[in-house]
Amino acid sequence: MIVNILLTLLVFIVIIVLHEAGHFAAAKLSGVRVNEFALGMGPALFKKQWGETTYSIRAFPIGGFCSMEGEDAASDDPRAFCNIKVSKRMIVVLAGAVMNLVLGYLILVGVTCAMPVLTTNTVAKFADNASTQASGLQVGDVIKKVNGRSIWVENDISYELVKDADGVVEMEVLRDGKLVTLPEVTFAFDGEGDDRSLIIDFKVVGEKKTVGGVLSYSFRKAASVGRLVWVSLLDLVTGRASLNDLSGPIGMTKVVGEAARVGVSSFFLLVAFITINVGIFNLLPLPALDGGRMLFLLVEAVRGKPVKPEREGLVHAIGFALLILLMVVVAVNDVFKLIR
């Protein structure tokens, strides 16, 4: 358990540091005065002044920040965040999430390079007495959609099956150059009750790796992860998922530990998923998040004048308080799930 906790902390620290480093680098390149670069939240455990910027480590490793002059209040400093061009401010705001997405993509490139071949969506062969073959799927079929959702990489098939209750899905396949709809492709189940899972009873074709192939596959894999994050958030908003389905750093300790035990590739796949998740979540147009700040900048670009920094700062402060409350609720829920 201790090892899992330390490993999870390390993962989140690296992701947070790189996120804030994105803001920091973009701010410095844009000429913005950065007052403090901090890892963690709460009271400062360590501070070091270097040039015009204070670098600090805070007591609680649950976040971090890059504090810029004029970020949440008016400032007469010509290098203040509020006094530079809107376009430069947009770059600074987006840089953190972009850093997370780039990190996720680079990790996936590394994992893909370690694969013996590049997997495709083309059916290669079936297991004995395969139910999918009996219900219409054939060798050579290129799976294009499952239940109406496009299949970008082979893992998308598994993602769609996880959400399916009866094991019967609609597939759209490319067969002999023509799109064919298979209305009831049936998957068998393994196990019973809560341990029941669908069996993928076919193998897919593998392709020889090339530089272009690795980069393309990794991009589609990253896009697939990003789509999964958006779909999960949409399920939460629409009520198809609940707060009980959310996990924070505490809940992730078990998952990170299990991934590490499975192997290096599984561990880094999970890290890629987490960092892409963090990047996309930060782009949501909510107060205190990068997406919320971006929304205010878009309003300023349309109006031709900014919202008063004090008002924007108040909105972000309220949003930050609600975000901390959500983190506390998720953390408490994670603890209860661990001790059950």
Q: List, for residues 14-72, the tens digit of each pLDDT value.
A: 898 899 999 999 999 999 999 999 988 889 999 999 999 999 999 887 778 899 998 87
| 52 part of the active site | no
Query: Positive or negative, the Cα torsion across 106, 111, 114, 119?
Result: negative
Residue 190 pLDDT: 80
Per-residue b or e along 129-165, where b marks 16 or more CB atoms closer than 10 Å to that residue's CB: ebbbbebbbeeebbbebbeeeebbbbbbbebbbeeee
pTM of the predicted protein model: 0.86
* Residues of the chain with confidence (pLDDT) below 70: 1, 193-195, 241-246, 248-251, 334-340
Residue 194 pLDDT: 62
- Token couple for 137: 């799927």
Residue 34 pLDDT: 96
The helix/strand count (H/E) of the chain reads as 9, 10
Residue 7 pLDDT: 82
Query: Positive or negative, the Cα torsion across 54, 56, 58, 63?
Result: positive
Per-residue b or e along 194-232, where b marks 16 or more CB atoms closer than 10 Å to that residue's CB: eeeebbbbbebbeeeeeeeebeebbbbbbebbbbbbeeb
For the chain, the C-alpha Rg in angstroms (whole number) is: 23
* Domains delineated in the chain: 2-112+276-339 (no CATH), 118-208 (2.30.42.10)
| Torsion on CA atoms 26, 32, 35, 38, rounded to nearest 10 | -10
3-class DSSP state for residue 72?
coil
Helix H or strand E encompassing 49: strand 34-50
Residue 197 pLDDT: 77
Residue 258 pLDDT: 81
Q: Which of 20, 71, 154, 312 is catalytic?
A: 20
> By 3-state DSSP, what share of the chain in percent is helix, strand and coil, each rounded to 5?
55, 20, 25
Angle, helices 2-29/86-113, rounded to nearest 10 degrees: 140
Choose among 122, 136, 123, 125: nearest CA to 185.
Answer: 136
